[in-house]
Every structure is written in C-alpha cells, then in structure tokens.
Structure 1
Amino acid sequence: MTRHLMACALIACLLAAPARAQAPTDPELRRLAAAIENGLRPSVAKPGVEVPSWTLQQRMAHYKVPGVAIAIVKDGRLAYAAGYGVREAGGADAVDADTLFSVGSVSKMITAATSLRLVAQGRLELDRDVNGYLKSWRIPQAPGIADPKVSLRMLLSHTSGLSVHGFEDYLPGEPLPSLVQTLDGVAPAKNQPIRLQRTPGARSEYSGGGIMVAQQLIEDVAGQPLDAVARGQVFEPLGMRRSTFQDPLQAGRDNIAKAHDRNGALAALPRGWESFPEQAASGLWTSAHDLGAFVGALIRSYRGEGGLLPQSLTIEMMTEVSPGTRGLGPELLGSGRARRFTHNGDNENYHAVIEGYPETGYGFAILTNGKNAKGLRGEIRNAISDALADGVKPLIRPIALELGAPVQAAYAGSYRLDPALPMDVRGALADGFDYPSLQVRVADGTLVVDLPGGPTAASLLPLSPSRFAAPGLNVELEFHRNAHGAVHAVSASVGSARAYYRRETASAASLGRGL
C-alpha cells in the first residue's frame, strides 16, 4: 500500500471510529466530555472570520493521530477517563483509559514527586549539595565556577546550571546507555556530557540533564532503580497500576498505544515504539487513568486534603523558584482561580500534557500517539478551557487595524537585549526566548520579526496599535513610543516574564552585525 493510500485509510478509519467511552452521569462532566468530543477550535482566528468548531475525530484525522486518551479531574479526584481512536493505525484495538502511552517530559513530574516523598521522609534535603549524597557518580568541577553547590531544589526547578536540554529517542535494536553513560555522554548515549555550564541558581534554563542527576540521586539514596522507588513512593500509593519506568517497555505488556509518524504510519518497527533510557526525564509509560489520579493527588495535597505529599511541601512544589517560573517540577502559571501547574511531554511520536487547578479542583491529562499531535493537544486544551470558562486559553483574534506604511516603518529596525534587566524579571524568557537581538521588518504589508540563529521569520498579529502576538514564538511584543514620538524599545512577554530590547541606531546595528 502506498503512503498516500495508508494516510487515506487512516483518515477514513478515524472518521468512522466512534468515541470509545461511556458518557459520564455527572452533568458537569457530561458538558466537559461533550466539549472534548465536539468543541475543538484553533488558537488564532482572523478578524471577521467565524471561528471553526471541530470534532475530536475530525482533528485526529487532520493530524493523522490514531489514538487519544483523556482524563478529567474534579474536586481533586479522577472523575472521568476515556479513550478515542485506536492503538495502531488500521487496527481494531481501541484506546481506553488504561492504554499505555509514552508521555515524554511529563515523566519529570513523577520524578519530582518521588524525590519529594524522600524529602518528606527525611531521606533527602531540598537545599543540601547533592554531591554529598551521590555515590555512583558526582557532578564534576567546571572551569570558571568556583565551589559549585547544586541542590535538589535547583535540579527540580531547572536552575542548576547543568547542560543538556533534552534527549533523542532510541529505535528498536539500538544499544541503550546506562545511567552513568548518559550522565557522562559516553556511547551508546547520544547526548553530550551533563556538565555545569553556569553558576548554580543564577539562571533558569531547562535541563533534562539535571533531572537525570536527580535520578542518580534517588537511586543512590534509595539503593534501588528509579522504577522500584517510584512504584513504592508514587505508583502503588495512588493506584497507578499501569505506570512504569521500565525501559525498554517489554512487548509482553498489553494495551500499548504504538508510535506513528507525521504521515500516520506505524513507526519504530518492528516493535512499534521507541526506547527512552533517560527514564527520569522522559521514560514514563502511563495511562489516562493513572495520570488523572496523579494530578488529583497533587491538587488534594496542595489543599491539605490528603493525597501524596504534606501540604507544606506541596506548596513549595507549587511555588516559583527564582529566577525562573517553575516550581519543584511543574511550570506554574496564572493567579487566583486560574492558578495552575502544568507540564508538557514531547517524545518523537508521542505528545502529552497534564494540568491542575488547586483553587477549583479541576485538572486533566491528554495523551496521544502521533508525531503531529502537538497541534491536536493544543486544540483539545482550548476545548477544555472553553468548557471550564476559566479564560486561560483565550482565542487570539487580531484587531482589524490597518497600521499603514509610516507606522510599520516606525517599528522596523534592530533591537538589542538590555542585559541590565534582572533575571528575576526575565524569568522563563531567559531560556525559551534567549536572543541577544531582534530584527523587525515589513514584508508584504505585515510586520515580521527575525531572530539570530532562531526559527524562521515570525509574523506579528496586531492586538493593539502597539502590541502584537507572535503565536509561533509563544510571546507578545509591545513597542514603546516615547513622548517625542520615537519608537525606542520593544519588550517581549509571556506570563509574568519580560525581556526588554532597546532600539539600536543605524551605526550601532551595523557594528553589532560586524559590518
């Protein structure tokens, strides 16, 4: 069968497949389930254009994603979990609430909870130098960093200064590295050595490498592999009977969602899924039922209603560690009733997310088995936000405003990052939007921004005469015009994080480009 015919067959299968779940009896949950199945929408809509509303099956077919599993948490407890589609394209085995998915970096949340259980038991301290615990491997000294001390708090909040953002997947048959080989970047590990590259605690910088150090810490202190420690500390107390850090996942396990490439074809043959030897950072296999139970337990712990962790320690977990915006594991967003903890997970052909709202008690988990599923995950997320009416994922609708050539020309130019802005203010932008300069220009009547060494040019969508969304970059840009009418700076923001770029003169811009 040609790749085109395979894709067509997959689309036909998805459009024909009914939802694989019995409707919940609770009216609120029925409304949420209906939104998930019939209320997906885009994140951005053009002015004056009706916002489309899609079914989950339509968008699964659009993105060529065979299977999705979703859990909903209400009042801090798993209330509903369901599967949609199939485990393997062209097959008849339905996804259900117990189907196993790889969940990528959502693994870091289980690793964080496991280590915090050890803290609660007095076996670890949050702020002690981890080299005082490590036995099998130690963080090496680094040139230019005198007497570095890395703590568990730093490892979990991505402020440790350690290198290696993420890790590659391993195909069936490829040799797998040991934990120490991963830490030292020695073959068959595919990553560079995990080493200090900045002063610990000075900057927020996402480090899967730091989480692998946390795995070594857990194993050295507990005297057991991570899977055994997580099983005793998290999986068994919460009834997460399907979850495992076992790697590679053994084919003897049943009900596994297989990996699919961007064309919707089965990947990682002959087995049908990759290996993820970096267990603590990206190696968790779990189900919607289990992840929903985990999110609910964290909400209850935060509210002092039992769960998994002492309330005081859960509050520390859910408090930003400066200069970043992450807590001890989760990304933290919003305030008041919209206060939430979240974590995405992205392996090669699996995408997942969890999110919890301690004030309202709601939460959810989304698991998928297709390479294109990031877009689908976002659209499901939009539907849940609309149904909860929480306002945290509003539709981005640019204003219908013709700025005109003179105004656009006033914004065009070169801007350079002001390094005097404290890291506490830059927060997550010091990692996710770490560019020393921006170039704004006009192309086909639209403002676009170019980033040095970054992604391709991003179009700016006007939200006001001076504020623009850049959805592809996950930031908003605001141009600053002074009392003399001159545009002298632009700031980038996401959540509470903010970076400030001063406009360069023509001569300064030329010097900055080495001209």
Structure 2
Amino acid sequence: MRLDRNLCHWWIWHWWIWAFIAAMVLWPHAAPADTITPERITAALSKLEALAEAAVAGGAVPGLAIAVVHDDEVIFLRGFGHREAGKPEVVDADTVFQIASLSKPVSATVVAALVSDGIVSWDSKIADLDPAFRLADPYPASQLTVRDLFSHRSGLPGTAGDDLEDIGYDRAEILHRLRFVPPSSSFRAGYSYSNFGLTEGAVAAATPTGRPWEEVAEEKLYRPLGMASTSSRHSDFIKHANRAALHVKVDGAWAAKIERDPDAQAPAGGVSSTARDLSQWVLLILGDGVYAGKTLIAADALGQTHVPLIARGKNPVSGGASFYGLGWNVEFGRHGLSWGHAGAFSVGARSLVTIFPEDKLGIVIVTNAFPTGVPEGLSDSFADLVFDGTIGKDWVKAWDDTYAGLFGPAVAAAKATYAAPPSPARPAGPASAYAGRYANDFIGDAVVSKAGDDLVLRAGPAGARSYSLTHFDGDLFLTFPDAETPDRPSGVSFVVGPDGKASAVTIGFLDDNHLGTLQRVGD
C-alpha cells in the first residue's frame, strides 16, 4: 500500500461534539504575544538554522528548504543540503519540491477564492456542480457538498481510488468508479482522509468556470501571489532544472530511485512549489486574504477553511486535540491554536506547514525524503524556541519514532505472513487453470497469462501495470506491487472449481475496500 494514500495523518479516533467543547475549554493557551520579542524570534531562527544544518549533515534528509513568516514579513528563507543525494547541486529557496498532501490547504485556498468571487459556495451541492458524480448510496450523493469533501466527512473510505491510481487510471475514470466503493461511515458522521474525495470537491468547485482545475489554481492563486515556480501539473515540475529528487532508504542510504506523477489527484497531492513561493501563500493566509495591501480573498470565505468541522483524534506526539476544517488540520496544542497540514509520498517526499494565527507566525518546511520526522521535528522545535525560549524534547526523534511505529509493523506483518510457505506446500495447478480474463466494475479487467515458467497479472487500462506471480501454496501466489517497498509481498489467490479452472481471483493489494475480487469472464 502506498503510504501517501492516508499519509501525513495519524490514525483515526472518532470523537463527538463534546470533545470539541472540552478542547476549547482546556487547551493550553499560547504564550502572551508580548513575550514573542524580536530578540526571541532572532534567537529561534539562529537555532532553527543550526538544527536544519545538523539534520542534513547527519543524514536525516538529503535536502530541505524552510520559510518563516511573521507579522506580514518573510523573516527566514533558506535551503539546505542537496537536490539529489550524491550530486553537487544544492537546495536553495527556489528549488522546486513535490509537496504531496500539503497541496490540500493550497487547494482549499483556491476554492476559497472561487467562493469569494461568488462562483461557488462551500455548501454548493456536488449533484448540481457535477451531476455525473455518484457515491454508493443515493442519499449522500444527493446531499454531498464541497464542504463535505474538503473536510473528509463524505463517508468515502480513506483509500478510495488510490488503488485505481496505482494501476494507471486517470482522474476522470477514478472519480467515476468511486460510486462502487461502499462507505466506511455514515454520511457526515466520521472522518476518513480521502485523496480522491477532496479531488472531486476541488474539480467540482472549478466546474462553473469552464476551465480545468490546474488553470483555475494558476489564475486564482499562483499568479496573483507571484508563485512563478508553483504548478498543479507534473509536466511543469519536471521542466524545472532546479528541482528536488525523491529519496527513499536503500541499504541505509538515501537514494533517488522512483518518480511520482500525482496528476490524477492534483488538488489533493499534485502541487509542486518552492519555499519562496509557499512563503507568499502563508502571507496571504496570515493576512486573512489580504496580500500586499490588496484583498484577494474575502476573509469569510478563507476563514471557513479553518473552522474545525470534524474530530481527527489527538496529535500522536504532542497529545493535542486535533480536528479537520477544509483542507486544514486545526489543533489545540501546547502553544495554543494552530493550523497546519503535512504531506508525504512514501516514494520520497515530506512537507509541512504550521501556522499560529494569533501570533501571526507561520513556518513551511519541504524535504526530499521519506520516511523522516524532520519537518515536524524542526517545526515543533522552532515553536518551542519562539514561545518558551527552549526546546522541550528531541522532536525529530519523537516524530521519527512515530513514523517507524506507524508503518514499520505493517511491513513486518506482511513479510511475516509470507515468510515461508507451509511445509509441505500444496502444488499449484497448471498455468491453464489460472490464465484468463477477470473483471469487476471497480477494478475493470485483469488478465493472467503465462510468461515462460511464471504467471503474470496485468491490470489497469489496457493492462498498464504488470505483476509477476510467484507460487506460494496451492492456489495462492505472491507478488511485490510496491516499488517503494520491493520486499513487501502481497497475496493473489484464485478460487478453482471442479472443472479445474479458476472462477475468481482476489488481488490483495487492490482489496483495501473489499473490491479486489474479480470474476472470470469469457471461456
């Protein structure tokens, strides 16, 4: 499972409304504004710079860039390390990074601009904007709004559509097939972080303009803020010579092994940008829609993105109460109210924004590696320095440990399940028992064929993705579908009938929402 499906977001505990009321009463208040002196800010920036340099020197990430905004001014802007491990090109404030799910609050700002202009409302119904879109149940589909999709309370499971993206389907086809995904909760009753749910909300909101989402984002946000290196198209990202590669750990060292084209979920995860450009966006957010003395977005339209709508649980490291607004995490932590969002591709990107609106302070950190807790660790350390004058703990280590605890056991469990076949293992049937075409409405077609002495599974549009199958036991085969975890197996199991032919196949890595079973068609 690709980790950016649900990433940057800790696992979900559902609270009811009393939890929000309690949090409002009990959350620790930020330090009084008069304690955040220019001297303390200067000292904090100096230590932040040293921490970032140490992170790169110690191999925590190959490269990163940071922007800090305070009181309508960019007060820190710098890159550290290298764009690609082992190569001399350095990261600077204008290096373009893929920011993954940090795209979500950026896209929420674009929609806020549409709301401000009267083109759409946060409560516009998707059925009116995009009549072809469906959910599995007719009532939620008829009532679903842009607000519901941007707050992840539509009932769509968190991974809905990510599996289709993995096997090569484009945005339009993925959004069409969401109608086959059963809900994970009642409508508006549960939080489930959904890349393609938010993508539908953004695309639908842009529909009245008659132009693609990517053009609307440019017109409403990127160009007005002078974000010349920012785009929602992967093709624009790869045109930049000054761009950061994605890195994963290979034998304990960072390596640029994999590219990630997130165009299918561009509003949710496809923005690429620089620390300099993102600092201008933070200025707009801290200015309540005012930028360079001009109102670009009405304060009410933008302010709605920061209203906590649904409980997410607690921050797994700080323990602060955490909620989701419209494309934003809203937290009540040790330094008071904050707005933020993280982003990650498990193939090698990490990003973070944290804003303390009451103190007009914001920080953006973009890195070119995964897994790493460096963005959260540096952001939390900086906040401690600003508000308390000292760092309370090793936040980078705390976040590294959290990510290791979140993702490590899942990989280990998959390896353990298939560590060794039973002894003795049951033999496989002949290749002809399994070969053939299988299909369901959600996955579409999958073809199993013989290739030499092996079986190969092809799935996606026109068999876009190919997976070798290795026999494990009886009618169960293994494949290794994830490029970022090449040693993590997934099962592919067949149901063979009395006629010696497989009547169905269940593809484990496409079965997150119990839609991975395909029936044989033909012959």
TM-score (norm 1): 0.61
Question: Is the CA contact 1:69–1:95 (under 8 Å) kept in the aligned structure 2?
Answer: yes
Deviations along 1:135-155, whole A, 9 cap, x unmatched?
5x4123427x57741111111
Please give the secondary structure, in 2, of the residue aligned with 1:339.
strand
Matched, 1:178 2:178: no
Matched, 1:35 2:24: no
Please give the secondary structure, in 2, of the residue aligned with 1:71.
strand
- 2: CA distance, partners of 1:251 / 1:315: 34
Equivalent position to 1:266, from 252, 255, 261 = 255
C-alpha spacing 1:387/1:166, structure 2 compared with 1 (3 Å):
farther
Question: Is the CA contact 1:63–1:372 (under 8 Å) kept in the aligned structure 2?
Answer: no
Task: Look up the match of 1:315.
Answer: 303
Q: CA deviation at 1:268?
A: 3.8
Question: Is the CA contact 2:135–2:181 (under 8 Å) kept in the aligned structure 1?
Answer: no
Equivalent position to 1:225, from 203, 208, 212 = 212
Equivalent position to 1:287, from 257, 274, 280 = 274
Question: Is the CA contact 2:162–2:196 (under 8 Å) kept in the aligned structure 1?
Answer: no
Please give the secondary structure, in 2, of the residue aligned with 1:371.
coil
Q: After the TM superposition, which of the residue ranges 29-38 and 225-234 deviates more from structure 2?
A: 29-38
Q: CA deviation at 1:112?
A: 0.8
C-alpha spacing 1:118/1:86, structure 2 compared with 1 (3 Å):
same
C-alpha spacing 1:294/1:332, structure 2 compared with 1 (3 Å):
same
C-alpha spacing 1:250/1:102, structure 2 compared with 1 (3 Å):
closer
Matched, 1:150 2:144: yes
The structure with the greater share of residues assigned to helix is 2
Which amino acid in 2 is paired with 1:371? Answer: F
Q: CA deviation at 1:388?
A: 0.8
Question: Is the CA contact 2:113–2:301 (under 8 Å) kept in the aligned structure 1?
Answer: no
- 2: CA distance, partners of 1:307 / 1:292: 17
Matched, 1:240 2:227: yes
Question: Is the CA contact 2:66–2:77 (under 8 Å) kept in the aligned structure 1?
Answer: yes
Q: After the TM superposition, which of the residue ranges 385-394 and 292-301 deviates more from structure 2?
A: 385-394
Using the aligned pairs only, state the percent identity. 23
Equivalent position to 2:384, from 386, 390, 394 = 386
- 2: CA distance, partners of 1:101 / 1:313: 28
- 2: CA distance, partners of 1:279 / 1:307: 26
Question: Is the CA contact 1:101–1:286 (under 8 Å) kept in the aligned structure 2?
Answer: yes
C-alpha spacing 1:299/1:384, structure 2 compared with 1 (3 Å):
same
Which amino acid in 2 is paired with 1:158? Answer: H
- Alpha-carbon RMSD across the aligned residues, in angstroms, is 3.6
Which amino acid in 1 is paired with 2:349? Answer: Y
Q: CA deviation at 1:337?
A: 6.9
- 2: CA distance, partners of 1:56 / 1:347: 21
Deviations along 1:323-346, whole A, 9 cap, x unmatched?
552111110112797211000001
Matched, 1:113 2:109: yes
Equivalent position to 2:374, from 373, 376, 382 = 376
Which amino acid in 2 is paired with 1:99? Answer: T
C-alpha spacing 1:83/1:114, structure 2 compared with 1 (3 Å):
same
TM alignment of 1:82-481, pairs within 5 A: 82-134=78-130, 137-142=132-137, 148-165=142-159, 176-185=168-177, 196-249=183-236, 251-263=238-250, 264-268=253-257, 273-277=259-263, 278-301=265-288, 308-322=296-310, 325-334=323-332, 338-348=336-346, 349-373=348-372, 375-389=373-387, 394-395=392-393
Deviations along 1:229-249, whole A, 9 cap, x unmatched?
000001111111110011244
- 2: CA distance, partners of 1:312 / 1:336: 27
Question: Is the CA contact 1:170–1:276 (under 8 Å) kept in the aligned structure 2?
Answer: no
- 2: CA distance, partners of 1:382 / 1:336: 10
Q: CA deviation at 1:32?
A: 3.1
Which amino acid in 1 is paired with 2:298? Answer: P
Task: Look up the match of 1:480.
Answer: none
Please give the secondary structure, in 2, of the residue aligned with 1:217.
helix
Q: CA deviation at 1:107?
A: 0.5
- 2: CA distance, partners of 1:71 / 1:339: 20
- 2: CA distance, partners of 1:177 / 1:380: 37
Question: Is the CA contact 2:69–2:75 (under 8 Å) kept in the aligned structure 1?
Answer: yes
- 2: CA distance, partners of 1:233 / 1:290: 14
Question: Is the CA contact 2:98–2:349 (under 8 Å) kept in the aligned structure 1?
Answer: yes
Which amino acid in 2 is paired with 1:298? Answer: I
Q: After the TM superposition, which of the residue ranges 203-212 and 93-102 deviates more from structure 2?
A: 203-212
Task: Look up the match of 2:426.
Answer: none
Q: After the TM superposition, which of the residue ranges 300-309 and 381-390 deviates more from structure 2?
A: 300-309
- 1: CA distance, partners of 2:229 / 2:338: 26
Which amino acid in 1 is paired with 2:281? Answer: F
Please give the secondary structure, in 2, of the residue aligned with 1:164.
coil
Which amino acid in 1 is paired with 2:175? Answer: L
- 2: CA distance, partners of 1:248 / 1:303: 31
C-alpha spacing 1:95/1:147, structure 2 compared with 1 (3 Å):
closer
- 2: CA distance, partners of 1:388 / 1:64: 23
Which amino acid in 1 is paired with 2:260? Answer: E
Which amino acid in 2 is paired with 1:156? Answer: F
Q: How many residues align?
A: 351
Equivalent position to 2:67, from 66, 71, 79 = 71
Which amino acid in 2 is paired with 1:36? Answer: L
Which amino acid in 1 is paired with 2:239? Answer: G
**Unaligned 5+ runs, structure 1:** 1-25, 39-54, 187-191, 398-431, 433-448, 458-515
C-alpha spacing 1:379/1:335, structure 2 compared with 1 (3 Å):
closer
Please give the secondary structure, in 2, of the residue aligned with 1:57.
helix
Q: CA deviation at 1:118?
A: 1.0
Please give the secondary structure, in 1, of the residue aligned with 2:245.
coil
Task: Look up the match of 2:452.
Answer: none
- 1: CA distance, partners of 2:295 / 2:236: 28
C-alpha spacing 1:248/1:164, structure 2 compared with 1 (3 Å):
farther
C-alpha spacing 1:390/1:296, structure 2 compared with 1 (3 Å):
farther
- 2: CA distance, partners of 1:383 / 1:329: 24
Which amino acid in 2 is paired with 1:275? Answer: D
Please give the secondary structure, in 2, of the residue aligned with 1:340.
strand
- 2: CA distance, partners of 1:75 / 1:285: 26
Question: Is the CA contact 1:148–1:199 (under 8 Å) kept in the aligned structure 2?
Answer: no
Question: Is the CA contact 1:87–1:258 (under 8 Å) kept in the aligned structure 2?
Answer: yes
Please give the secondary structure, in 1, of the residue aligned with 2:359.
coil
**Unaligned 5+ runs, structure 2:** 1-37, 313-322, 396-401, 414-523
- 1: CA distance, partners of 2:212 / 2:327: 20
Which amino acid in 1 is paired with 2:297? Answer: L
Question: Is the CA contact 2:191–2:311 (under 8 Å) kept in the aligned structure 1?
Answer: yes
- 1: CA distance, partners of 2:203 / 2:337: 32
The structure with the greater share of residues assigned to strand is 2
- 2: CA distance, partners of 1:309 / 1:288: 22
